[in-house]
Every structure is written in structure tokens, then in C-alpha cells.
Structure 1
Amino acid sequence: MDRHEVQMKRRPDGGDTAQLGKAGSEAAHAVRHVDTVDVGSLRAGFSPRLDGVSARHARLLVELADEVPPIVVQRSSLRVVDGMHRLRAARARGDRQIPVVYFDGSDVDAFVAAVQLNVEHGLPLTTRDRLAAAERILASHPQWSDRRIASVCGVAAKTVATLRRRSTDESHHLNIRIGRDGRRHPVSVEEGRRLAEEIVRREPGVSLREMARRSGISVGTAFDVRRKTLGEARAPAAEAAAAGPSAEMRDSASTDRLPATAQDLKAVIRPQLARLIEDPSLRYTDHGKALLRLLSATLAFISQSANAAETVPAHCHEPLRAVAQACAGGWHQFSEMLSE
């Protein structure tokens, strides 16, 4: 990589700093100012290019003395993390010094940074380079998820999953993996539920969000695990449908918070739904749009529920009543999860 544009930022003291990008900052916590070192003191180091430096590309860079950014160098060893072509070009020009940004991470983290920087900018890595890099990072960071390794190497997550399956190293098949968000995620949902159950038994008062975060499951799954573990669950859907609405739901329905008629209910819901529709966090995300469609469909059904009830054949009343009550219970459960 040799046309990488290092992002320059101003420090409070007025100096320049160079940000190495996500991989570099994650691995080395390195945001350092640009320095200058002797060309002869630098060594080849962490390039993911299996065929080494391209002489042709280096020759092209010889004419770009004032346009190329600093190279990235591991401080402890003075080995090049990113910029071997720029270093080769500087030597060809007879330069005695070259600007550098220091990297303060370990060797394995320096390789991760080298791969991501080369993937993002400069002379593209070949498919063979990317696959070899993915195998090497899988060996050094087996706790990383397939998607995280794939995002670093510029390959598909399925490709990393295939490499992991082929591996005979037991450390590559961990039950918990660290995703791109830095969180721990169970490979199996069942494993996540087991971890959540252990957490709620040890700490009955733990919040749903904390339980979900620590076990790597969704808040909804955490809610289900907690109510089953602590015996807080209501009757299963079929029993609830047969028995009718729960006492809690009947009490809620009898309060002044819920309108008595469908028209009154629409009058309450429509303003709230309009606010949700205008919210960018829902309007412009896939999950948000799906939720808004579901809410809109529910409101549309409420407005037609009286007509629908009149047209349903008598022999369908009880099954529909059971389904409606189960759906109402599901919405009530959803409201409880939101309150958490």
C-alpha cells in the first residue's frame, strides 16, 4: 500500500497526529505525531504481500516525492508495518530520511494493521494475499468472529468460516467470539441462553440489557430466559389463549390509560406513531422500518376490527380469539421489555 492518505488531526498543543485507522488504533492504541527517520535504519517487516514489493509500482512512486504520506513503522523494531513501496521509492531517489508514523503494538497486531491498511488503500492485495492473511489472523486471533476477520482482510465472512472449519486447531473453534463491535457473542444461541441462565441465578436483580450484553444474546431472549428461570413466566401462549387475558392485562385494560373504543385508540396511537415515523433512527434502518410497518399494519387492523369481527364465520371465532389474545400477550411482553 502506497497511496494511503493518513488522516491528519490537530493536537491541543498545535502539532500534527496521524491516525492509523481502525485496525491500528484497536491493536496498538497508537495515534502518534509524524516523525522523520533515516532510511537506512528501517527494515522490512509485516507486509501481507506474498510476492513481496512490486518493482513496477515502486518505480511509479519515485516521481511522487511530494504526494505520498508517511509510512507506518513499529517503534520497537523499526520494521515497516505499511509503506514498503514508499520506502523502496525513497531509496531509489537517494533520500536520506523519510517521514514515519510510529506503531506501538505487538507483532501480531502490527500484522493486522498492515493487512487492513493495505486492503483499504494503495496497490490492491491479491486474492491469494487476502486468504493467506485471513488464515494467519485466524491463527493469531481465534477469538475474533468470522465477520471481524473478514472485514480486516477484505474477504467474505463465509470464506473465513470455511477456513475455520478446515482448521484442526481446537483454539479456532471457541464457543464465544468477539465481533466487530468489540462485544462477546456466543456461536450458539443455546450456549448464550445457558450463560444468561447462570447470570440470572447468580444475580436475580441484573438488568435485561446487562444480561444480554454479558451472554451475547438479544434483550428479548434475555427476557425469556429470566422469566423462565425465576418462575415469572405466564402460562404458555396456548394456555393463555384458552384461559383468556391474564389478570395483569385485564387490570391494565381497565385503567384510564387505554381508550375504550377503536376510534379512541387510534386517536391516541396516531400522534405517537407519527413521531416514530419521523425518527431517523427508525426511518432509515432496516429494523426500524420493519417495526414501523408492523405498527402501521396493527393500527390499520384496529380501524377495521369491528367489520372483521362481523364477517368472521362462527366456527372461526374461538381460534381467532385465541390468536388475538396471544398476539395481545406478545405486545404486552414487548412493552415490558421496553420498560426494562
Structure 2
Amino acid sequence: MNKTLIISMLATTLLFSGCDKFKTKKDDTATTASEWSCTSESNLKDLQNFLKQEYLKKIDKRLRETSYYHSDQALLKKINDSLKFEIKGIRTLTPDTNKTNELECEGQIVVNFPKGLLKRAENAYLEAEVERECDECESSYSTLMDYLDGREVPLTVQDDYLKGKFGFNVIKTDKEGYSLSTRQQDDVINAVVIITQKAVQYEAYVKENSSIKEEQTQNTLKNAEQVELAQKAMDIRKKELNEEKSKVVERLNQTWDRFSDEQKAELQQDQSEWFEKRDIDCKVIAQKPAYNLSDSERETYQKQYNYWDDAMQQQNVDMQYTKCFNQRTNERIVYLNNVF
């Protein structure tokens, strides 16, 4: 986003004659050359002040938007007071400065940070892993340096300073004198904002992560307790079903043994078909997941299904098969007792 600074040049018209008039023109030309220049100290000072003010507005907005994290105000003041945006390595890109109303200038913004600030920001970035903002696309970068290297405009970050490309124009106007328009400053300013934000919110990230870890530990313990409870409930019910299975098998055998040889021969084919049907039906019925049952349909042990692992899921299938086996066998016993 381009910003425009207006630098007004007040020209006083003096009427002189002879040598005095020539001298005034000469002085005016010198003044014009000083302002009509990419390297004008006055212009650079205004640009540097502009960059600092843009940064202050953005960091204030950023911290308000992330106010759920406490910011170290003392550190923020120290950073803001010491930060300087310097413009160096200036080049004039316009070929003939005397035949244009606009000078195209190029240089670098250099920002020096308080010693140790970048390292603190790097550590904060790692701590803030759960706090990635999609609008800043931080989540695709594992470190702060990777994030800054991945910006659209290349940035150099090392030894407590940041450098980035910067462009500006000096424009002649009919009324104001000169105006300055800037370009390519947003990436540098946004990078400084991110570094400052991470640094001043570092302790908040550490505190939050500590709370998250403590909560995760408590949740892990509670989950382990519930898993243990679920397993105990399954094992108790499994024992009941297996004991019932032994009894119904014995009762079925006793019922069958009461038949004469002729009756057994008459029922043999039907009995074989029933065995196969019982096995297939119960295998199908046992496949129905506990979460597909209504609460009234679930057995007591199945009410803990949210805590089952794969082995417990399979144990439930086996138990439901046994339950079906017992029910169908009891039904068969009743049928056989009334068949003749």
C-alpha cells in the first residue's frame, strides 16, 4: 500500500538586480537540488518517521487483535523507543532527473533491534505453535526465520537487524512543492510487527502451553481411568455371557439326548441347518457398532464405548456373538421341547 507524504516547499520571491539576482538563482538551484534528490536528508528523515509511525499503528492494532495474550508493556515500550527505521543504500533509478516531474528511488530499510530480541521472538514463535494466524500464513513455517524468508519481498534477518527492499518516489507538484510516495515497505513493517508481537507475548505463550500440558496430563489420567473402567465392565459381562453359554449348550445337549434314535434321525437335517443359521445370524448381528445403538439398547458395559480401542471393539463383537448365541440356543431348546 503506497502512502504519500507531502513536503511543502515555501518559496519567497525576491526581486534583485545584477549580480544579486544571479546569486539568488544560484542559491535557489542549490536548494532545489538538495530537495529534488533521492538522497535528501530532509526527505529521508520524513520517510523514516513515516515508517516508524506506520509500525506503531500496526503493532498497536496487532496487539489489540491478540489481546487474549498478555503483552509485556515494559518490554514493548523499550522496543518501540529504541526501534529506528533507517534508509540506506539509496540509488536514483531515473536516468535524467532534469527532464521529469518524478524521481524513482530505491534503497533498503534497515531496522536494528535491541540485543537478544530476535532470539526471544524465535523462541516465542515456537511456543506459539497453537496460535498460528491464517491471515499471516504462519502455520506453513516451522520457525520464525523460515516465515520471514518466505515473504513475498525477500528479507535479511541476522545479528539483531532486519533489512528489506524499499522504494520511494519524489514528485514535483504545482502547489505543494514536493511529495513523497512510498512502496514495498509493508513486508518490512509487517515483519517487525510479528517479531515485536512474539517477543512481548512470549511469556503468555509459555504460560498457556504450561496450562495446556497440565490439562492434557489430567485428561490423559482421566481417560486412562475411564478406559480401565470400560475394560473391567467388559470383562465382567464377558464372564457372565461365557458362563451362560456353557449352561445353554449343556441344556441343548440334554434336550437332544432325550430324543429317541428315530426322533433324532427325523430332526437331524433341521438341526444341522439351524446350527448354520444360528452361526451366520449371530455373526451379522454382532457387527452392529455400539454407537449405532440407542441408549436403551446398549448394555451397561457398552455405555463406555467412547473409551474403547480396537481390541475392545473386537471384544465387543465377540461378546455380542455370544449373547446372540445364547438367545438363539434358548429359543431352540424351547422349540425342541415342544416339537413332538
TM-score normalised by structure 2 residue count:
0.23
Q: Which has the higher relative contact order, 1 or 2, with Cα contacts under 8 A spaced 6 or more apart?
A: 2
TM-score normalised by structure 1 residue count:
0.23
Larger radius of gyration: 2
